[in-house]
Structure 1
Amino acid sequence: MKKIIALVLVAMMTATAFAGCASKPAESSSAPAGSSEASTGSSSDAASSAAATTVEEGKLIMVTEAGFAPYEYYDGQNVVGVDVDIAKEIAAAMGKELVVKDIAFDSIIPEINAGKADFGVAGMSITPERLETVDFTIEYATSKQVVVVKKDNTAIKTPEDIKGKKVAVQLGTVADIVVSEDYPDCTLIQQKKYLAAAEDVKSGKADCIVMDALPAEELVKENPELVILEQELFTDKYGMAVKKGNAALLEQINAVLQKLMDEGKIAEFTLNHTSK
């Protein structure tokens, strides 16, 4: 009996020793927080694991100005477009519900800074002035800024001909900024909506509109009296705006934007909304 008990004790001690050995690799496989091993990895991994701050739990609130087809526009009661398609991908990657709010363009940044929205998307140019108040994502779209005139306009044949003319722009856009700064002799007509600017040109209140090329193409489809000059005024690049300091959200959006660009999805979204 003593021999049997001794054998049982030896077996138990051996099993415990093996269990202890087996647990050591599991402990060493995770580097302690702050170590060089823990800090390595891709930026997309960091973005996916970071806890992004959003203004409402479970939701990702996007503010836009839905008069900028094909980027954002109304289809019935719903806001759709290239930017909305991208935003849906971002929300899905974060496991959140996308909420789209249509507001005035010049209210987008104040809305973000007031904590009423998570990010702004509306063909927004990355400018030094805006970078002082919000953080921007990587550039995800490049666009030409063009001049729209009436077909029978003989005074404006090239973009440089806008000098000294009555120029309609959307309030707060890069066109508003550039025309104000680079063409001080122009009479600037600032409108909240491009449809109002189109009416200004058709009625003779304005000589032309300066705006993004893709929305301009959509505008002239609906207003056959108007035409786009062949030569662009300048080239523009777009980003998405988030509140300053919200680095986790910025990283997550950037990761999705880069993935979509690498896969050609943004070009696909653009084609889908311009071929209708």
Structure 2
Amino acid sequence: MQMRHFMLKLCGSALLGLAAGTTVAQNIPADILASARAAGVIRIANTQSSPPWSLIDDKLQPAGYDVEVAKEVARRIGVAKVVFVADSFKNFVEGLKAGKYDLVMNDLTPTPEREKQVDFAAPYGVEDFRIFVLSSNSTIKDQPDLKGRKVGVTTGTSNETWARAHLKESDIRTYDNGGFVFNDLGNGRIDAVISSHFGGMKYANVNKLPIKEVGPVLIYQLSAPAMVKGQPALKDAVSKAIADMTRDGTLDRLARRWVGPEFDMVGDIQRALRQQ
């Protein structure tokens, strides 16, 4: 009798779980683009803690290169308002699949692992990634010097994937927030950080951290809007918007404002694409 009661309870739990899964699936419209246009709103995720790509400005509003590109993409695909949803890199893929947001636009690289789970539109950004250490550090000069060292990366990023693949003899430490990893570098809790040139220098300048970048570029990484699979209309519309922004100079203008006046965003995207 007790066994029968247990099995009935187990089956009931399974049915509840199935129902919950169905509810999650129903959060995703059959046509996200049409739904967003009808509602006049699209939900776009970013960390709001990875300058110069996304951050919170002095008015407590989302800002940065990715944020401004996202607003312009929304306008060009016919959606009046963007609601930015704060989340971490490690949650982006599952957040899309669960219907928490419609797009992710936050320096997200279209890696083969991610492309198995979500779709990407055309790239709109690119970064070069390097090693950051304390300014007083004279022993770490290149990748081989990271052997046996504590190396910080942001959880769920392609930096973490790269570090685990190429720094097998290092002690990889993960952080949900990009700012925390640099704080720990500044406090001496870790020996090095793998980060983009612009992200690392932004943290150094804003937080007055005594850090420097060393060695050659480790890897170039593109960033592109991510969305749940099965949304061809959304993917095509976003890709067209980015292509138009590339041609009319919008991407370069926004990059010069947020990333740096010397940054050749469109040129570097094309160079990175040729290297693939």
CA distance in 1, matches of 2:111, 2:89: 15
Q: Are 2:218 and 1:233 equivalent residues in the alignment?
A: yes
Deviation at 1:173, TM superposition (A): 0.5
Q: 2:70 aligns with which of 63, 73, 87?
A: 87
**Equivalent pair of 1:59/1:99 in contact (CA under 8 Å):** yes
Q: 1:195 aligns with which of 166, 170, 179?
A: 179
**Equivalent pair of 1:168/1:189 in contact (CA under 8 Å):** yes
Cα 1:275–1:182 shift into 2, 3 Å? closer
Cα 1:274–1:141 shift into 2, 3 Å? closer
Q: 1:175 aligns with which of 142, 159, 170?
A: 159
Deviation at 1:229, TM superposition (A): 1.7
CA distance in 2, matches of 1:52, 1:160: 47
Q: 1:224 aligns with which of 209, 221, 224?
A: 209
In the alignment, which residue of structure 2 is the partner of 1:70? 52
Give unmatched runs, 5+ long, in structure 2. Answer: 1-30, 262-276
In the alignment, which residue of structure 1 is the partner of 2:114? 130
What SS does structure 2 have at the residue aligned with 1:231?
strand
Q: Are 2:33 and 1:52 equivalent residues in the alignment?
A: yes
Deviation at 1:110, TM superposition (A): 1.2
**Equivalent pair of 1:70/1:270 in contact (CA under 8 Å):** no
CA distance in 1, matches of 2:147, 2:48: 30
Deviation at 1:125, TM superposition (A): 0.8
Q: Which amino acid aligns with 2:121?
A: T
Greater Rg by CA: 1
Q: Are 2:91 and 1:110 equivalent residues in the alignment?
A: no
Q: Are 2:82 and 1:98 equivalent residues in the alignment?
A: yes
In the alignment, which residue of structure 2 is the partner of 1:142? 126
In the alignment, which residue of structure 1 is the partner of 2:195? 211
The C-alpha deviation readout for 1:16-62, integer Å capped at 9, x for no partner, is xxxxxxxxxxxxxxxxxxxxxxxxxxxxxxxxxx9824478321100
CA distance in 2, matches of 1:101, 1:191: 20
**Equivalent pair of 2:32/2:102 in contact (CA under 8 Å):** no
The C-alpha deviation readout for 1:126-150, integer Å capped at 9, x for no partner, is 1010001100111222210111110
What SS does structure 1 have at the residue aligned with 2:190?
coil
Give unmatched runs, 5+ long, in structure 1. Answer: 1-49
Q: Are 2:138 and 1:154 equivalent residues in the alignment?
A: yes
Note the aligned Cα RMSD (angstroms): 1.8
Q: Which amino acid aligns with 2:212?
A: V
Q: TM-score, normalised by structure 1?
A: 0.78
**Equivalent pair of 1:125/1:236 in contact (CA under 8 Å):** yes
Q: Which amino acid aligns with 1:92?
A: R
What number of residue pairs does the alignment pair up? 227
Q: TM-score, normalised by structure 2?
A: 0.78
Deviation at 1:160, TM superposition (A): 3.3
| Identity value in percent | 20
CA distance in 2, matches of 1:264, 1:156: 39
Q: Which amino acid aligns with 1:60?
A: I
